[in-house]
Structure formats: structure tokens, C-alpha cells
Amino acid sequence: MSVLTREEAQIRARLIEVHRYTIDLDLTRGEELFGSTTTIRFRAREAGADTFVELQPAALHRAVLDGRELDLTGAAGALADGRLPLTALTEGEHELRVEADMRYSHTGEGMHRFTDPADGETYLYTMCCMADANDVFAAFDQPDLKAVFDVRVTAPPQWTVLGNGIATRVGAPEEGRWQLAPTPPISTYLMALAAGPYHSVRTEHAGLPFGLHVRRSLAPYLEADAEELFDITRRCFDRYHEIFQEPYPFDSYDQAFVPEFNSGAMENPGLVTFRDEFVFRSAVTDAERQTRAMVIAHEMAHMWFGDLVTMKWWDDIWLNESFAEYMGYQILTETTRYTDTWADFGVRRKNWGYDADQRPSTHPVAPAPELVPDTAAARLNFDGISYAKGASALRQLVTWLGEKTFLDGINDHFARHRFGNATLADFIDSLARSSGRDVHAWADRWLRTTGVDTLTPAVTANGDRWSVEIRHQGGGTDGAGQDGAGSDGGPTSRPHRIAIGLYDHAPAAPHQLVLRRRVEAELDGVEPGLTLSFTGPRPDLLLLNDGDFTYAKIRLDPGSWKAVVRALSGLPDAVSRAVVWNTARDMVRDGDLPPADYLEAARAHLPHETDIAIVQGVLAFARTQIADRYLPADQRPAALATISATCRDLLRRTEDGSGPGLRLAAVRTFIGSATAPAELSDWLDGDTVPGGPVLDPELRWQILGRLAVLGAVGPADIDAELARDSSATGQEGAARCRAALPDAAAKEAAWRTLFGAAEDGQGAGTEPGELSNYLVTATVTGFWQPEHHDVLADYVPRYFPAATALGARRGPAIADTVARFGFPSTVDAETLRLGEECLADPDALPALRRRLADQIDDLRRALRVREKREA
């Protein structure tokens, strides 16, 4: 199917206005197809207009325009490349009726169909974002052609149907007919449906029906968590009504946890869909519960920013995602027991933004129109820039404007554009009106540029006085590829309003740090730095960006680095510790800190850390980046030993039952770092970790996966575990374990399961029986292992053409998956060379090219880190 260009969307928006979609879906036609009948009422603004409607049918049966059958066979009227032409429209009102059979998806796009291996029940849900509505119904598929949606559904009688509006059974129960309440005007990408024998828990709040829904095999786990989920939902709902003048704009609030969902969640109005891993069937840490709560808060924010007011085109997705990301963390901090959410943001999400912003594929938070020419380009921008960097920019904006002024601007924006579309300029105008400040200039420096600034302190002490020079180095371009100049021709450095923490070792406890004072400072982004002078002795630790209110890489002066090596875990605030850990992480990635020094800091301080998000973030970086990528193969065993020793210390600390989340995080990382199978085998045989926890299905599969990597189990062991846990998660665990076996036959079998048809050049369409999106992820995750370098060597040159062919056949979601999780684990110049050759292939899907480009840049960085250490 051809992608929609921005120019085409602008022309169509000038030509037509869409009023209403009446959609009738028949979900009773078997396992491959469903019926889709769509009636669109729209108005043409001028006579003689030519336009088109998008549709991706398995079979197009009829198209009737104003009572006239369209010729679907002639050159002028035939469906071509997913577009049905509508020619020579008269000025005024029109009605188009399209009858088609549509295909179910197994890639998480369009209408996804899943059969639960636990009980054989089938579940459906839609994912129409961002250009996949036409896989479900005929549509003028662009965000600025909003319309009312009136949806009817025929489903098996025992099923539940959910949608954007309240769903009501109509007719006799055996008919399986449902009517969804018509919506206010919404965009096509927000149309949502879920159908199947869902288990539901319902309540009412503020006069609205609230519901939680999950497949039946997960019902006990939803029941266990329902009150917590409802409590978070109610708290967020009430807080949004305190700060937003516009009330919740839809008639209900359902949250459906659906299988094999590609994203974390999707903000469909009235029916938010989440990946059903958020219904926990195994033990999780409190940080993971906090993440789930944040996603709930994030998606609810979208009901206003994204659903009530929607961007005109996809260059402004930051208006949706940055805002929801910021509000998700802030609202959670204000209304729930999760009061350290910004530490989690700093150590987990913000690094996503920093990493993305240092790759060649980076883009401005609010890119220029020419950088988002079509929907294929727009799809690539749902990344760490639009989420984490954008949220960081908003947090800095709130620091600059003040929270009340910021919220006044938001409410002005909602009032002016309710149920309509808006742009960055519209939003900035509202903030400027509320504040009286030059927000446009701020936006140009923060939202129209790329790269990460770096703030470096240089401390000078002289008797009873000391001073610090804060050196401000700009990190990027103006967003259009012009190094060293901002959009106005000035420097790329951004203005920063920061706090500087001055800390001293506690006299009676030198491994503790005590805050002497915090100093506020403003760097204007024009001058290369700022010098501050103080009386008294210099502090032991001078921490720039204390509180993490800006978006910049931070450096420590030598004296401050000594202090954190000695007393990092003794910093009193979790956000401050997150800033320091991020600094150490950035220094490793930039080649300024030996990876082994980072491991030693983790070894010294993680056993005393109390914030679970920090523990998980530091262990993950140590295990997956330092051990697997930044250190050469001969140093990897020592790194794994250090990580394992750190985990053992955490396990000893939590033997008394305190800190179950810390203990679980340590157990998981210990499993992934084990180099000898005996202890893990004992755990698996005994079904417990000594001192706890008892092994749940997730931990059993994780142990079995590591034993598979180490060659300590075989296919029969995997089959036995699958018989014990035959759930969808068990199927994924078995696929991961089979691909992780170290022998040549197992690797080839996994490879053929993933790429066989693509590598052989067979067929152009999705073939029945191909792996679902989640099974693809599981298989590629198991396949590449650093321990298997020799047996995998021949697969590296095979990977790039096979991934290109598979992406072309199965679409962007699978292309992204096979590049994100399936990129070769080898860190060498030959893999880099082959990857660069693949990027030159014009046939690669944009989704594959973008993910490969990022992987290849990360590979270059890993090679540079290794070279610097060896030098």
C-alpha cells in the first residue's frame, strides 16, 4: 500500500469535510476474514473535486457513491494500492458505502486475532494507529479529518464487545449484535474495538462506567489487581479534573489488557488498550507496578491531549506523547503512593531520549514539516525523542514558566481547539498568552533543534573562597542537518534553568552525603558558560542539575567523582542519585570512564541502594551493555562475575524478607549473569531460590533460558516445561529457549522458523502459520547470544538480506521487531561493514532502515569504547 503524504493530506483536507462513519463489522466469518461495511457521510467543498478513500481489503464487493454503483473493474474506478478513487465530486453532501472482506492480522496491526493456547478461546482487538484504520474499515485516514463514529458489530453470542462508546446488545442474544454509542468527533486512528470472551470487572466513578477487561485465562490475576488498577485510575481521573477545566469528553472509560500488543498502550478514547503483560501473573517489583501506574496516567492524559485536541499532521506527535509522558509522571507523583517517579524517569526513560538524540537518526522534538513528508516517516518518530526528550523539555518549560502559568496555557489550548485539531504554533500561542513571555523563542531552541547539551563544572578553590565555572557545550544541530547553528543562525546550546546541589560528607558518617545548600542558576544558551563564586570551603560533591529539571548530559569534576565513588549510595535523594548514575553511564558511553570503573561503583553502592528503579536500571546497563558490548570477549567473564557478586550482596541484604522487589531484581540479573549451570539447576529442581522467592512461571522460563544458553538443557527439558505452562507466555518462553540452544541444528531450526520463506524468496504475502509478532520477538531474542559466537558466525551475513525480505513481506511491525531484537550480538568490524551495506539497499522498509541505522550506530559506539580502552 502507498503511504499518505503530507501534501496529499493537506489537499484532501481542503477538498472535503467528513461528518460521520457508520461501520458494521461481522466477526463471525471464520479465522481469516471479517466483514466490513462502511458508510461515510462527507461534504465536498468545491465542484469537480477528485480525491480517494483508503482501504486494504481481501475482497472489495461493492462501492456505492450517492446511490450509484462505482465501477470496480475499470481503470478509473479500480482499487489501486489501497486507494479507491472518488472523481468529479459535486459540491455539497455525499454518502459513500463500501462493502468488503478484510483480513485478520497476526502482527498487532489492524484487526489482530489471537487464540489463547491456554483454553482455545479467540480474542480480537484493533490497532488503527497510525495509518492502519484502512485495514479495518474504509477511511479518509488522516488525523485532521475528524468525524463521529457509529459502530455496529456482529460477534459470536458468547462474546463481549467493547468500543469507543458504551456497547449495548441489541436484538436476540443468539444474534450476537452490538451497538456502540456514537462518539464525539475523533480521528480515524483512534477508532477502537475489542471483542471476545473477555473477563470484565466493572465499577462506576464520577457518574461514568469504568471497566477492566482481560482474556479469561488471566481472570484470576486481574481480580487480584483490580482494586489497585481502579484506585490508580480514579486518582488520576480526579486529579486531571482538578487541573483541566474541560471535563472528560467521552461516555465511559474502559481499559482492556489485550494479547500480543506491540505498544505499551494505545489511547483510544473510551477504550484504552494495554499489553496484557501489565496484568501480572508472576512476581514483579514495585518499580514495575509504578511503571504500570504511569502508563495508566499517561494514557488518561491523552483523553485531553491527543483525543480531545488532536494534531493536524504527524509532525506534531510530540503534542500527544511528550505531554502525556510528562503528565503521567507528574500526576502519579501528586496523587499516589509513588512519590519518586522522577527518579524512575531519570534512570530509565530519560536515557532512552539521550541515546536516541546522539544517533544520526535523531530529529527535533517538533520536526520541520519537510522532515515528516509521509506516514512512513512519521511512524519512525514514536521514539525516545518524542516521549522522553519531549517530556524533559516540558519539565524544563514548567520550571521556567511556573506550574500555574503552564496549566493556564493548557486550558486555553483545550478551550480553543476542543474536538478539533491544532499545531505546535497553536499550543505555543496559548502558553505565550498565559505567561506573557517569549515562549516561541524558547520553543525554537528546545523543540526545533537536535542533540544533547553537556554541562561541565570546573572548580577552583582559593583559601576561604571557591568558584565554579559551568561550561556549556551545545550538542547538536538545528534539526535540518546544519551543525553548529540554531534555526536562527545562532548557537545550538539551549537555555537551562538548573539547581546545583552542594553536598558534604557527614562528619560522623563519611559514607553519607549531606546537602549544604541548593543554588539556582540560569544558562542562557548564548554565552559559553557561567561562573559562580562562594565563600567557605568547596563542597565534597558539586552536582549540576540536581533534581533533574533539565535535559543535558552532566559531568563531575575530579573531586566530586571521588566523593560519589566513596558515598554515592549515601546521597539522600533518589533523583540526585539517578542524576549521578546517568552521568556515570554517559561517561562510559562517551569513552570518558572505563566500563570496569562503572562496574566497581555498582559493586560498591547497589547493595545499599533503596530505590528499585535505580537498582534495575544500573543492573540492566551493566549486564546488557557493559558485559555484552563494551568489554571485549576475554573480559566478559570477569564482568559477569562482578555483576553476580553484586546480586549476591543484594540477596544477602534481603534474606530477612525486607525489600522483596530488590531481591527479585537481584535474582533476575543473577540468573542472566550465571556462567555455571549447577546453582541454577538446583533452583529449578527445587522450584525456589534459597530464602525465596518461590519460582513462578516467569522465573522458571528465565532460568531455563539461561541453562539453554549454557548448554545445560535440551529440547526434552523445554517440552516438559511447556507441558507445565502451556499459556501464551509459556509458548513464548519455549520459543526463546529453543532458539537459545547452542548447537547448530537448533540454531538452523530457529532461523528457518523466522526467515525460511523470506530467505528462499518464497511468496509476497503473509503466509498462514507464520509466527505472530510476540513469537518472532521471543525467537530472535533467544537466537543471538554472546556465548555462541562461533556457532553464529555464519548467520551474520545471512541476517541482513533475510531481515530485509521478511520486513518487506510482513510489514513495519515485524520489520521493527526483527531489527530491534534480532540484530546480531557480534561486536566487530565485519558486522558493522555488512550493516552499512544493508543500509544502502533501497528496498529496505523505512521501519527496518531506521531501526538498523540505530543498531549500527550503537555498534560503532561499542567499538569506539573498546578501542579507547585498548589504547
Q: What is the DSSP letter of 258?
A: E
CB 400 within 8 A of CB 37: no
What's the rounded Cα separation, in Å, for the pair 154 and 703?
44
CA–chain centroid gap for 438, Å, is 32
Q: If you write DSSP's letter for every residue of 781-797 in order, what string do you get?
A: HHH--GGGHHHHTTHHH
Beta strands in 662-739 (DSSP E): none
What's the rounded Cα separation, in Å, for the pair 818 and 807?
8
- Grid cell in block for residue 124: 480480537
Distance (Å) of CA 786 to CA 108, 497, 633, 704, 791: 30, 43, 8, 17, 10
Which position has the grid cell 555484552? 628
As a residue count, the chain comes to 871
32: left (phi over 0), alpha (psi -120 to 50) or beta: alpha
The pair phi, psi for residue 115, each rounded to 5°, is -110, 120
What's the rounded Cα separation, in Å, for the pair 285 and 299?
22
- Grid cell in block for residue 305: 491531549
The one catalytic residue in 260, 299, 698, 721 is: 299
| Residue 852: closest CA among 832, 829, 828, 830 | 832
Asked whether the bond before 303 is cis by omega within 30 degrees of 0, the reply is no
* Bridge partners (DSSP) listed for residue 208: 205
CB 323 within 8 A of CB 371: no
Distance (Å) of CA 693 to CA 164, 662, 665: 41, 11, 11
Instruction: Give catalytic status of residue 299 as yes or no.
Output: yes
Q: What is the DSSP letter of 477?
A: B
* Bridge partners (DSSP) listed for residue 254: 211, 271
Q: Provide the 10 A C-beta neighbour count for residue 339.
A: 12
Q: Under DSSP, is residue 690 helix (H, G, I), strand (E, B) or coil? A: coil
Which position has the grid cell 556515570? 584
Residue 318: in which H helix or E strand, if any? helix 317-335
- β-strands 271-275, 253-258 pairing: parallel
What's the rounded Cα separation, in Å, for the pair 532 and 450?
28
Which residues in 361-395 are b (16+ Cβ under 10 Å) and which e?
A: bbbbbbbeeebbebbbbbbbbbbbbbbbbbbbbbb
Cα torsion 307, 309, 310, 315: sign = negative
What's the rounded Cα separation, in Å, for the pair 608 and 571?
11
Q: Under DSSP, is residue 219 helix (H, G, I), strand (E, B) or coil? A: helix
* Bridge partners (DSSP) listed for residue 122: 115
Q: If you write DSSP's letter for every residue of 92-150 in order, what string do you get?
A: EEEEEEEEEEEE-BSSSSEEEEEE-TTT--EEEEEE-TTTTGGGTS-B--STTS-BEEE
Q: What is the DSSP letter of 687?
A: T
| Residue 253: closest CA among 298, 178, 194, 303 | 303
What's the rounded Cα separation, in Å, for the pair 230 and 412?
30
CB 279 within 8 A of CB 214: yes
Amino acid at 287: A
Residue 533: in which H helix or E strand, if any? strand 529-535
Return the active site residues.
299
